[in-house]
Amino acid sequence: MTTTVVIGGGITGLSTLYYLQKELKHHRRDMDLVLVEASDVLGGKIRTVQNGEFIMETGADSIVSRKTNVAPLLEELQITDQVVYNATGTSFIYTTDGLKKIPEESVFGIPLSLKSLAESGLVSAEGKVEALKDYYTPNETFTKHDSLGEFLESFLGKEIVQNQIAPVISGVYSGELHDLTIASTFPYLLEYKNTYGSIMGGLAENKQKFLGTGNKKFISFKDGVSVLIDALERSLTEAGAKISKGVAAEKLERTPNGYRLMLANGEQMEADFVVISTLGSSAKELLEDPRLHEDFDQLYTKSLISVYLAYDIRDEELPYDGTGFITAKGTKLKCDACTWTSRKWEHTSENNRLLMRLFYKSSNPYYDQLIRLSDEELKHVGMEDIRQSLGLEAEPVSCEVTKWHENMPNYHLKHRQVVESLELAMEDLYPNVMLAGCSYYGVGIPDCIANGEKTAGMIMERILK
């Protein structure tokens, strides 16, 4: 019988197997489905931690609700009754002058109206006038492969980009805006500029898409994001897939009849199709092919430290009505952002006690010092950031630190070309072996799910030929 092996049990790998077994059922085909995961638990960067009465996430804490591929999957997995939405509230940027509100009618800090632009406390009068050129300056040169930073600054001006837009986008993508392409981040902004003549005007015309649910733009689950992972694992197990946890894949080699996968425990597997849904660096080691090294080495990575602090303080004692802040450059804070988790996600604190999450990125000038600190020392760094920004002096009752060092994708201007080069090389050197996951095709959970569905479709197409 034909066998497909998926290496890597994160959301992309799980989604690939889920949609593949769904396609097989639809076409009444049989296939052995195998998942190999080095960790003892599935989910990759998605993992929920129950810390006393608090729910904490080691990685992603939510899913963008407007992505159309998510709702059908949740319904099929029968977990819609677990869905919760983020609470509404103001978001801030922490500046040298303290907390400043991000205008409510904005998307990633980009105003949707003249009123929103006029009311911003983050941009000077001169900066607001400069942003108006977006309405009368046509796009004659920019394509989706150009720099996002240069694109935004050309039409909106440097001040609003640096003070209001860049800090917000940095909450999603690390690194400098000028090192990111439009295609790998917000391709629809270019489409809006070309179609409506204005980035702000295009966002306004599509306002319902972004703000149609009010501020409820994200979803999670009552028991945390791991609910999605557990549901996928349960569905795959019931469908007969073999899931091997706690065993690493060490080497993949081509054979006359397909492929042989060697595992760290000495076991070997034969496969017709292989999906490598690990980080690019792991895929490089697995294949051990010098012909691919140049491309793999151009898949850049970044790092992140997450610090949760839980307090024996009622959430309403927080001195601001909002859900968190992003830190602007030039302040004394060491954190890049702080989410007021118990305010944004009520399900994370059983007794309405204050829970906060601070983020420290590798683009942060303090990062090289921070990564060497112990969890206890990082707790005190977080406490000092909370004290400076919010004036809270209390000692936390609980702390959870997660370090994602050099294992998060960092897209750059040539990223798309590198991925295309790898795709061509893999098809030539390793037919029926596919690369998948956030190293190549997008970092959000919906992007990973879509990548898994597309990969499953590609395998099914080859089977049906």
- Between the CA of residue 129 and those of 103, 134, 148, 442, what are the distances in Å? 17, 10, 21, 35
Residues 6+ positions from 255 with CB-CB distance below 8 Å? 270
Q: Are 336 and 359 in contact (CB under 8 A)?
A: yes
pTM, entire model:
0.92
β-strands 268-271, 258-263: how paired? Answer: antiparallel
Nearest-angstrom CA–CA distance, 429 and 435? 13
Q: Are 292 and 429 in contact (CB under 8 A)?
A: yes
- Between the CA of residue 388 and those of 97, 99, 194, 306, 332, what are the distances in Å? 12, 11, 44, 18, 8
Annotated domain spans of the chain: 3-45+226-299+412-464, 62-88+301-409, 105-211
CATH label, 3-45+226-299+412-464, candidates 3.50.50.60, 3.65.10.10, 3.40.50.720, 3.40.50.2000:
3.50.50.60
Nearest-angstrom CA–CA distance, 196 and 122? 26
- CATH fold of 105-211 reads protoporphyrinogen ix oxidase, domain 3 (1.10.3110)
Q: What is the DSSP letter of 65?
A: T
Question: Half-sphere exposure of 57 toward its Cβ, with a 13 Å CA cutoff?
Answer: 28
Nearest-angstrom CA–CA distance, 419 and 300? 12
Nearest-angstrom CA–CA distance, 22 and 304? 35
Question: What CATH number was assigned to the domain covering residues 62-88+301-409?
Answer: 3.90.660.20
Q: List the Cα angle 246/249/254 in 5-degree steps.
A: 155
For the chain, the helix, strand and coil percentages under 3-state DSSP, each to the nearest 5: 40, 25, 35
Q: List the chain pLDDT tens, one digit each, 465 residues.
A: 899 999 999 999 999 999 999 999 999 999 999 999 999 999 999 999 999 999 999 999 999 887 788 999 999 999 999 999 998 778 999 999 999 999 988 999 999 999 999 999 999 999 999 999 999 999 999 999 899 999 999 999 999 999 999 999 887 776 688 988 898 889 999 999 999 999 999 999 998 887 765 557 899 999 999 999 999 999 999 999 999 999 999 999 999 999 999 999 999 999 999 999 999 999 999 999 999 999 999 999 999 999 999 999 998 888 788 899 999 988 999 999 999 999 999 999 988 899 999 999 998 999 999 999 999 999 999 999 999 999 999 999 999 999 999 989 988 889 999 999 999 999 999 999 999 999 999 888 999 999 999 999 999 999 998
